[in-house]
Amino acid sequence: MLTIQNVSKNFGDLKALEDISFDVRDGQILGLIGQNGAGKSTTFHSILNFLSYQGKITWNDQPITESIFDEIGYLPEERSLMPKLTIEQQIIYLARLKNKSAKEIRPQIDMWLQKFAVKGTKKDKIKDLSKGNQQKVQLICTLIHNPKLIILDEPFSGLDPVNSDLLKQAILSAKEQGAAIIFSSHDMANVEEICDKLVMLRNGQIVLHGTVREVRQSFGKTRITVTTDWNQEQLEKLSGVQKVEKLEEKRFLLSLSDETLGKNIFDELTHGQYIEEFNQQPPTLNEIFRLKAGEHNE
């Protein structure tokens, strides 16, 4: 288990992290979210001892030292492959840094290339690959030594939906094998789909922490999706409706001031008659992100 306790980090007068605490258990995926500059990469760099910090970070109750690095898979936000090497040479080189032998890794390479649908062969040079395929090779380098702690800094960046799905399956597979996984992403759909828990940072402080369901439910069921013959102007006049967004013909998203008003709105729209769609839910994670990220600007 990765444990972060009361960690703070300053860069001069800038408080990059301010007394943050959370943990990531074995077989659990945690999404670390926040705007650029919120402290996500600083958190990763602190875990990896790239930076000095105040507080305590442990892996299975032990300080993270060089002896533990072999158990960690880290994908940095900036790509760092060596362009003149072949795919095979690059993977073996980084695996050997994790104390894996070429004899052990070489037979696995074709399987991993197929798993991530890398276009090319293991004899192709890194510089001849597309950016997307280079990213997939770096992901293979991150995972091929079967790490117990996986840290992924914006792993979905630049991937199309098909390749994003391949990465999600790899992350879920590592989870099933018991790895503790923490990743950052600006795509809330990815976070909502695969994360067990999330932490949101803003200006170096934790502003949200819990399961995706807990976080969403804490904001109340203040969103109603409805299909109706009422027009937008009529819907905006309903008591407690703060905003109406037209999604498509006859389909609208209503934002409420209070979730308890849902029943009254349902009764007003239906008068006991059939209605095709009336779905009351909490805000999406994307809506919550925009709300919390924008609070300091109010």
pLDDT digit string, tens, across residues 78-125:
878 999 999 999 999 999 999 999 999 999 999 999 999 998 899 999
CA dist., res. 140 & res. 152, Å (int) = 12
pLDDT > 90 in the chain, percent: 78
* 239-267 pLDDT tens trace: 999 999 999 999 999 999 999 999 999 99
Which has the minimum average pLDDT: 32-36, 128-132, 181-185, 231-235? 128-132
Backbone angles phi, psi at 22, to 5 degrees: -170, 170
Does pLDDT of 297 surpass 60?
Answer: no
- The two three-digit tokens of residue 292, written as one number: 């919390």
| Residue 286, token pair as written in the block | 């994307």
Contact present, 206 and 175 (Cβ < 8 Å): no
Residue pair 185/108 in contact (Cβ under 8 Å)? The answer is no
Query: What does pLDDT average to over the chain?
Result: 92
Which of 68-72, 151-155, 234-238, 292-296 is predicted least confidently?
A: 292-296
Q: Give the tens place of pLDDT for each residue, 263-296.
A: 999 999 998 899 999 999 999 898 899 888 766 5
Task: Please count the CA atoms within 13 angstroms of the CA of 34 that sit on its side-chain side.
Answer: 26
**Averaged pLDDT, 191-199:** 93
pLDDT for the residue 298: 42
> What average pLDDT does range 189-208 have in this prediction?
93
Of 150, 178, 200, give the one whose Cα is nearest residue 31.
200
Q: What is the pTM of this model?
A: 0.85
Residues 205-209: contacts with CB within 8 Å, 24+ apart? 205/18, 205/19, 205/20, 206/20, 206/21, 206/22, 207/292, 207/295, 208/288, 208/292, 209/22
**Residues in Cβ contact with 149 at an 8 Å cutoff, skipping those fewer than 6 apart:** 2, 24, 59, 71, 72, 73, 179, 180, 181
Going from the C-alpha of 4 to that of each of 42, 43, 181, 249, the distances in angstroms are 13, 9, 14, 49
Q: What is the pLDDT of residue 296?
A: 52
